[in-house]
Amino acid sequence: MIRGTPHLIALLLLAALAILLVAFTWSVPPVAMPQFARVASDKVEPAEPLSPLPQTIPTPDLERAQLGERLFHELRLSGDDSVACASCHSLEQGGADGRARSVGAGGALGEVNAPSVFNAALGFAQFWDGRAATLAEQIDGPLHNPVEMASDWPRVLTTLSADEAYRTAFAALYPDGITKANIVDALVRYQLTLVTPNAPFDRYLRGERDAIDAAAREGYARFKDYGCASCHQGALVGGNMFQRFGIMGDYFVDRGQLEDVDLGRYRVTGREEDRYVFKVPSLRNVALTAPYFHDGSVETLDEAVEIMARYQLGRDLQAEDIALIVAFLNTLTGDAPNIGRSLPLP
Ligand code: HEC
Ligand code: HEC
C-alpha cells in the first residue's frame, strides 16, 4: 500500500498534466495557424531582390519633353556643330553608342564607355563615378567636356537664340524663353520619357511565369544564388549603390595599363576606400549595350559575366552557368522608349 501510493500520485499528476496540455492546445486561437503558415512560406520564397520597372505615368509636359527631344538631337549644342547627345546615346543602340569609348567633338576620344540614358532617371547617381546627383546636374558634364561636346552655355544660348524656330518654341512653353534652366528642364523632361518597361522579366515578376523560358528562369536563380543580386538589385538591376570593381581579385593589375579614370570614385572624394569604386551599373537592356564596363574593354555578355563572377565573387563559372545567366540577362530588354509616356519629375 505504502509503496503503491507514490505511483498513484505520480499517475494522477501525469493525467492532470495531460488534460491541461490538451486543454491548452485546444484553446490556442485559430488565428495562430495562418501566421505559422506565412512564416513557413516566407522561407521557401524569399522577397525578390529585383522588381519590375514602374509602369508608365503620363505627365502633362509632353510639349516640353518634345522640345527636349529636339535639343537631345541638336548638333549645334556642341562646340563644332558635330555631336548631339544622341550621337553617343542613340535610341537605336539601347541609349548608348556601341563603342568602347565615345567619339566627341573634333573626333576626340572619350575616357570611358558611354552608359545608356534609358532609365537613367531612376539611378541614384549619374556617371560611372556618381559625380552628378541628378539628370539636371549631369548635363553640364557632357556640354563642357572637351572630349564630348566641347561647348559652353554662352555659346549654346547664342546659337539657340539666333534660331527663329527655337525662339518660338521656347517662348510658347516657358515664360522667360531661352535660358540655361529651361534648356536643362526640357532635356531632363525628355530623358524622363526614356523608360523601357514591360521587359519579359518584368512580366515574369508580375506573375506571367511563361514570359521567360526555363533557361532564363534557371539563370535568374543562379544570378541570385551566386550573389550577383547583392549588387545588381532593385528595379534597375543595379544603379542603387557604389562598389569596388575587383573585390576578390585585382581586375586592374590583370587588365594592365592603369588609367586615371580607373580610380573611380576616388577622383570624386579623394578617399582611399573609394579607389576603384564605381556605380553598380543597371543591367536593364544590357543585351543592347555592348561593349561593357567603364573601360569598354569587353565585347560580349558572356565575358562580362565571367569577369564579374571572378573579380566580384571569387568564382570560376562553368560555361553552362554563364549561358544560363546570359539567357536571364537577355530577358531584361524592355519596350523601346516612347515620348508619349514618362516618369514624374524627381
Ligand atoms: C561624345 C559622347 C557623348 C555626348 C555627346 C553626350 N554624352 Fe552623355 N555620356 C557619355 C559618356 C562617355 C558618359 C559616361 C561619363 C562618365 O561616367 O564619366 C555619359 C554619361 C551620361 C549620363 C549618365 C548615365 C548614367 O547611367 O550614369 C547621362 C544621363 C547622359 N550622359 C546624358 C547626356 C545628355 C543629356 C547629353 C547631351 C547634353 C549627353 N549625354 C551627351 C557620352 C556622351
Ligand atoms: C560586389 C558587387 C558586384 C557583384 C557581386 C556583381 N557585380 Fe556586376 N558590376 C559591378 C560593378 C561595380 C560594375 C561596374 C564595373 C566597371 O565597369 O567599373 C559591374 C558591371 C557589370 C556588368 C557590365 C554592365 C555594363 O553595362 O557595362 C555586367 C554585365 C555585370 N556586372 C553582371 C554581373 C553578374 C552576372 C554578376 C554575378 C555573376 C555580377 N555582375 C556581380 C558590381 C558587382
**Over the stretch 19-30, which tens digit does the pLDDT of each residue have?**
544 444 444 333
* Residue 157 one-letter amino acid: L
The predicted structure's pLDDT at residue 25: 42
Q: Ligand 1 center to residue 204 CA distance, Å? A: 31
Contact (CB, 8 A) for 310 and 316 = yes
Is residue 233 predicted with pLDDT exceeding 60?
A: yes
The fraction of the chain above a pLDDT of 70, given in percent, is 85
Q: Is 328 in the pocket of ligand 2 (CB under 6 A)?
A: no
Pick the CATH number of 62-191 from 1.10.10.60, 1.10.760.10, 3.40.50.300, 3.60.21.10: 1.10.760.10
Higher pLDDT, 12 or 285: 285
Q: How confident is the model at residue 147 (pLDDT cuts 50, 70, 90)?
A: confident
Query: What mean pLDDT value characterizes the chain?
Result: 88
Q: Could you tell me the CATH superfamily of domain 200-332?
A: Cytochrome c-like domain (1.10.760.10)
Average pLDDT over residues 132-148: 92
- DSSP conformation class of 292: B
Fold identical between 62-191 and 200-332? yes
**Per DSSP, what are the bridge partners of residue 90?**
96
Q: Ligand 1 center to residue 188 CA distance, Å? A: 13
State pLDDT tens for residues 260-279. Answer: 999 999 999 999 999 999 99
Q: What three-state secondary structure class fits 109?
A: strand
- CA–CA separation, 343 and 226 (whole Å): 33
Domain limits, the chain: 4-39, 62-191, 200-332
Is residue 186 predicted with pLDDT exceeding 60?
A: yes
Is residue 16 predicted with pLDDT exceeding 60?
A: no
Q: Is 312 in the pocket of ligand 2 (CB under 6 A)?
A: yes
Atom of ligand 2 nearest to the CA of 313: 5
Nearest to 271 by CA among 241, 244, 250, 292: 244
Residue 63 annotated as catalytic: no
Q: For residue 286, with 0-12 CB atoms within 10 Å meaning exposed, 13-18 middle and 19 or more buried, which class applies? A: buried
pTM of the model: 0.88
From the candidates 148, 208, 273, 320, give the one annotated as an active-site residue.
148
The predicted structure's pLDDT at residue 342: 72
The fraction of the chain above a pLDDT of 90, given in percent, is 79
Atom of ligand 2 nearest to the CA of 294: 17
Q: Is 232 in the pocket of ligand 2 (CB under 6 A)?
A: yes
Average pLDDT over residues 323-331: 98
